[in-house]
Amino acid sequence: MRRDLFTVVQLGASFAFIFSAFNSQGLIEVAVLRKKAETSPDTGITANSGYYSLSIIYFFFTFFNIVIPSIVQKLGAKWSQIIGASGYLFFMLTFLYLNVWLLYFGSAVLGAGAALLWAGNGCYLVEISRRNKMERNSGIMWAMLQSSLITGGIFLIYVLRSGDLSNSFTFIYMVFSSVIAIGIVVLLFLPNNPAQYGSQNEDIESSEDPLILPETENDVTLPASSVSEQLRSTIALLLTPNMLCLAVLFVYSGLEMTFYTGVYTSCLSATLPLKIFSDLVIPYNALSIGAGQIAGGVVTGPLMKILRMRSQHIIYLAFVGHLTSFILAYLCLPYDSTVHSTDASTYLAPTLNLTLIISFLLGVSDAFWQTQIYVTIGQVFKEDPVNAFAIFKFFQSMAACVSFFYSSFLFLPSQLLILTIGCVASTFFFLKVRLAIQVPIVELVRDREI
């Protein structure tokens, strides 16, 4: 196996460990803390503490994305990821000493760490990727990362078959903390300078995808010398036409991520007709979401070239998948399931099989969106990936922060309407960007032929 590919797999493995814990806990956090509000009122936990915790995470994620590019440039992509992942570990440990203010502080620490982790990850992935391999590498890493939902779901099923979320609370979070620690150890063994593997042995054959931008002598941008200069550079990049269009996608990715990682599973937990499956309805759906994420990563990675699919085709599939899942969720889940337990009437009877279909569609569509965002950023902003990924995570986390907050009081139909509008707008602006970057390449090829 080539060294660059091995490193991508290693990077994916570390994220699989970290997010097998974080994504799994995100699926159960609202439900767990609702039960703790009933059984342990002395902790200060309320029925909405789960939503507030997640909102705080993404609020600090948003804030730190403003200043993170200069920090990543000083620390390097590898150590940014290691320090950022440590914030996830601290957050998990707060559940072992549960107190509402410690929980909120841990949420803030995680938000800051997440900004470091994801900005470092995007930069590292661009540096390690040989030309024309960004699609493959992002697909591989995304599939491995989202396999965490499979392992996390299996773990929760194992635990919940002999108990419930409340009784197994301490054991669950001890395991989550240990798994994140393993992921941090894997990150420690990443190469310090991934660019040496991404630049050597470049493929000399021309790409079959005409949208890969040719390299120029000005591809490399020197790092800014101060936070203020870095901030001005980030704002300048944000104001470019392509980035303004992509900002719509970034916001939507935060909204739909919020829905499938927290809101949807809390709706399942609050739907009384599904109580016959007890707490197992959440890990079952986690498995289905994970299966969709892995399928999406495989299609946009190894199979994308074989199937001769381009980014436009992937986004069409994501558009259809998300709209279908939103319609099914509207038809089969109670309108007030976002805020409390309910048996309100629905257009379709909520069944386990129907929720699993929705979960799979949410997972595969999210994978399509996320991988194509990574690929587009890697192609269009390869000369300045740190700022580009910081802008991406800024808008994504800001949208997630707002979404988790309004999820504590906004009913399901209203949330699904917001998601539908976002899906339509994102598809339009994504296609606009792809067209904008395709035209110069076509003209360049024509000039060379002349």
196 confidence band (pLDDT: 50, 70, 90): low
Confirm whether 216 is domain-assigned.
no
Average pLDDT of the residues of the chain: 83
Confirm whether 23 is domain-assigned.
yes
Work out the average pLDDT over 16-34: 88
Work out the average pLDDT over 424-431: 94
* End-to-end Cα spacing for the chain: 41
pTM recorded for the entire structure: 0.76
- Domain limits at 298? 3-195+225-442
Confirm whether 33 is domain-assigned.
yes
Using the predicted structure, report yes or no on whether residue 244 has a pLDDT greater than 80: yes
199 confidence band (pLDDT: 50, 70, 90): low
CATH code where residue 377 lies = 1.20.1250.20
Looking at per-residue pLDDT, the higher value among 379 and 420 belongs to 420
Q: Which of 119-128, 219-228, 317-326, 403-412 has the highest mean pLDDT?
A: 317-326
pLDDT value of residue 394 = 86
Query: What is the SS3 string spanning the chain?
Result: CCHHHHHHHHHHHHHHHHHHHHHHHHHHHHHHHHHHHHHCHHHCCCCCHHHHHHHHHHHHHHHHHHHHHHHHHHHCHHHHHHHHHHHHHHHHHHHHHCCHHHHHHHHHHHHHHHHHHHHHHHHHHHHHCCCCCHHHHHHHHHHHHHHHHHHHHHHHHHHHCCCCCCCCHHHHHHHHHHHHHHHHHHHHCCCCCCHHHHHCCCCCCCCCCCCCCCCCCCCCCCCCCCHHHHHHHHHHHHCCHHHHHHHHHHHHHHHHHHHHHHHHHHHHHHEHHHHHHHHHHHHHHHHHHHHHHHHHHHHHCHHHHHCCCCHHHHHHHHHHHHHHHHHHHHHHCCCCCCCCCECCCCCCCCCHHHHHHHHHHHHHHHHHHHHHHHHHHHHHCCCCHHHHHHHHHHHHHHHHHHHHHHCCCCCHHHHHHHHHHHHHHHHHHHHHHHHHHHHHHHHHHHHHHC
Lowest mean pLDDT among 192-206, 358-372, 426-440: 192-206
Using the predicted structure, report yes or no on whether residue 440 has a pLDDT greater than 70: no
Distances (CA, A) of 295 to 137, 253, 298: 15, 18, 5
Confirm whether 335 is domain-assigned.
yes
Work out the average pLDDT over 58-64: 88
pLDDT value of residue 302 = 62
Using the predicted structure, report yes or no on whether residue 341 has a pLDDT greater than 90: no
Lowest mean pLDDT among 55-69, 94-108, 138-152, 182-196: 138-152
pLDDT value of residue 267 = 92
pLDDT value of residue 222 = 40
* Burial class of 101 by CB neighbour count within 10 A (0 to 12, 13 to 18, 19+): exposed
Confirm whether 179 is domain-assigned.
yes
Tens of pLDDT, residues 260-305: 888 898 899 889 999 887 678 888 998 999 899 888 877 876 666 6
223 confidence band (pLDDT: 50, 70, 90): very low
Using the predicted structure, report yes or no on whether residue 79 has a pLDDT greater than 70: yes
Percent of the chain with pLDDT over 90: 40
Using the predicted structure, report yes or no on whether residue 445 has a pLDDT greater than 70: no
Using the predicted structure, report yes or no on whether residue 444 has a pLDDT greater than 60: no
Using the predicted structure, report yes or no on whether residue 434 has a pLDDT greater than 90: no
Confirm whether 448 is domain-assigned.
no
Cα gap 81→72, rounded to integer Å: 9
Percent of the chain with pLDDT over 70: 87
pLDDT value of residue 110 = 96
Confirm whether 206 is domain-assigned.
no
How many domains would you assign to the chain? 1
Work out the average pLDDT over 339-363: 93
pLDDT value of residue 208 = 42
Using the predicted structure, report yes or no on whether residue 157 has a pLDDT greater than 60: yes
432's tokens? 């606009």
pLDDT value of residue 247 = 94
Lowest mean pLDDT among 5-14, 295-304, 385-394: 295-304
